[in-house]
Amino acid sequence: MTFDDTTNLKYIRLRGHSEFLNHFCTSYQNNTLHHAYLLSGNLGIGKSYLARQLAAYLLQEEYRDTSDENSDHLDEVEYALNLNEDCPVWRQVFYHSHPDLIYLSAIKSEANKSGQIKLGDIKSISNLTNHQSGRGGWRVIILDSLDEINKNGANAILKVLEEPPAKTIFFLMSHNISKVIPTIRSRCQQIKLNPVTNSDVFLILKEQILDLNNDELSGLIALCEGSPGMALLISYSGIIQFIKKFEVIIQEKTPQLEKLLSLAADWGSALSKNSKLSDATIFVFDKLFSQAALFSVDASRYYIRNEYSVTSSLSQIALILTENFTANELSNLHIEWQNSFREAQNSYLDMSIFMQQSIYEIYRQTHPG
């Protein structure tokens, strides 16, 4: 399960982001909560999970025993963190079914080929905010993410933020804060969330992934650089196996093109069936091209972190690219691949064909003749 998935929902104890948790819980106790929090940071560090955990914390208010006046904000943080699947409100929030919650997320489909949050989606917020909560408590709007909102949708959310309804909290997510229009940023309390520490990522992965040994786990942690959500997605998606097979085939004395194209077709087929794999695929190829460019500039940067890890497999493939491309050529190839990938997706092209073309191009350039 990724942090943004409700399939086979399982509680993951939130780790990291303690500074904001303390700040939020203190503000709650002091009745000084801001009406809108803009949470920014790398993809997969737990922004959406954090927002939903805090939503459950707010919406659980009416069920709390407030008779104990000795609790301080640290106990409050622990209370917020300990809400889990045993709590009906938590389950409603994480399944996006609570009557006082709106969760908006961009998902590509035949009906929404752009994969954007649109004006019609934002209008659903009015249906919630125009009426007082039936429970007399908080109302929570989570928008994941502002990076995928179109112009009309952005203007609509801006209007709501300019005249915030009473006892309503907005959690707005962004993986790239520069994509958020300044007028929205200015009306939010901006919270920059840092990557999760390796030790906390390790604990999260150990709780969730049972079939990886410590070498693989260490390699995955190194690859994802503080993003447990991305690590989980890469692990469950099967991309690790694709990368390892790619490395084995490409390093053969006479690599068999048929094997590579078959592997690429399988990868593309998985992409077509699960749109969430797009983020993981882009992430892995970004790492591959970046690492290759780094090696081409300074070969001393190359080292095998772990002989059997996913980082080692990517490094080996990157070395092969380095032998055939300059850093500038790799940079151009990287940009060209990113643009082609997004174009293929936006046009609903067969991703099996696209991945075959991508892998063939790498093969052709690295094995002339």
110 has a pLDDT exceeding 60: no
What does the pLDDT average to over 45-69?
A: 82
316/73: higher pLDDT: 316
What does the pLDDT average to over 60-73?
A: 60
Query: In this structure, are residues 162 and 131 in contact, taking their beta carbons and an 8 Å threshold?
Result: no
Predicted confidence band of residue 169 (pLDDT cuts 50, 70, 90)? very high
Please state, in angstroms and rounded to a whole number, the distance separating the CA atoms of residues 217 and 83: 27
Predicted confidence band of residue 35 (pLDDT cuts 50, 70, 90)? very high
Give the chain's domains with CATH numbers: 18-192 (3.40.50.300), 198-366 (no CATH)
214/300: higher pLDDT: 214
**Residues in a beta bridge with 189:** 37
113/351: higher pLDDT: 351
368 has a pLDDT exceeding 60: yes
CA 13 from chain center: how many Å? 17
User: What DSSP letter does each residue of 168-183 carry, written as one string?
Assistant: EEEEEEES-GGGS-HH
| Nearest one of 178, 222, 236, 233 to 46, comparing CA atoms | 233
The predicted pLDDT at position 277 comes to: 83
The predicted pLDDT at position 67 comes to: 47
pLDDT tens digits along 138-168: 999 999 888 878 888 888 889 889 988 888 9
Predicted confidence band of residue 278 (pLDDT cuts 50, 70, 90)? confident
| Nearest one of 157, 129, 161, 127 to 144, comparing CA atoms | 157
206/169: higher pLDDT: 169
Q: Which of 120-134, 300-314, 344-358 has the lowest mean pLDDT?
A: 300-314
